[in-house]
Amino acid sequence: MILKLFYGSSSLGRAALMVALGILPLAALGLNHDPLSGQVPGSPRIECDNPLVEWGELIKETPFTHEFEIKNTGDEVLIIQKVNGT
C-alpha cells in the first residue's frame, strides 16, 4: 500500500492532511491480509463453481432460468443484497 500525503498552507491542504491521518489507522487494519490468498481474515468470501453460463441464442421475451450454487467460504456472514441479470 502506498499512501501519499500532500500538505500546503491552504485550508484545502490542511483538510486533506486531516482526512489522510484519519484514514491511516483504518488502512493499517488490513495489513495482516495475505495478498496472495485474496482473503482478508474476518471477512466473507463468495465462491461459485460455474459463475458463467453460455445461453447461446435466446428468443426475445422467452423466460429462461439457471440456478447458481453460491458458497461462503469465508469466516463471516455473506450478505447478498441485490442480484441483477445482464
Q: Is residue 1 part of a domain?
A: no
What is the total count of domains within the chain? 1
Residue pair 51/68 in contact (Cβ under 8 Å)? The answer is: yes
Match 463468495 to its residue by C-alpha cell: 46
Sequence-distant (6+) residues with CB within 8 A of 71 are: 46, 47, 48
The parent domain of residue 25 ranges over 11-72
pLDDT tens digit sequence for 16-47 = 444 444 444 444 444 445 555 666 778 898 89
Q: Is residue 84 part of a domain?
A: no
pLDDT tens digit sequence for 62-79 = 887 878 888 999 899 988
Residue pair 77/44 in contact (Cβ under 8 Å)? The answer is: yes
Q: What angle do CA 42, 43, 49 make, to 5 degrees?
A: 135
Q: Is residue 82 part of a domain?
A: no
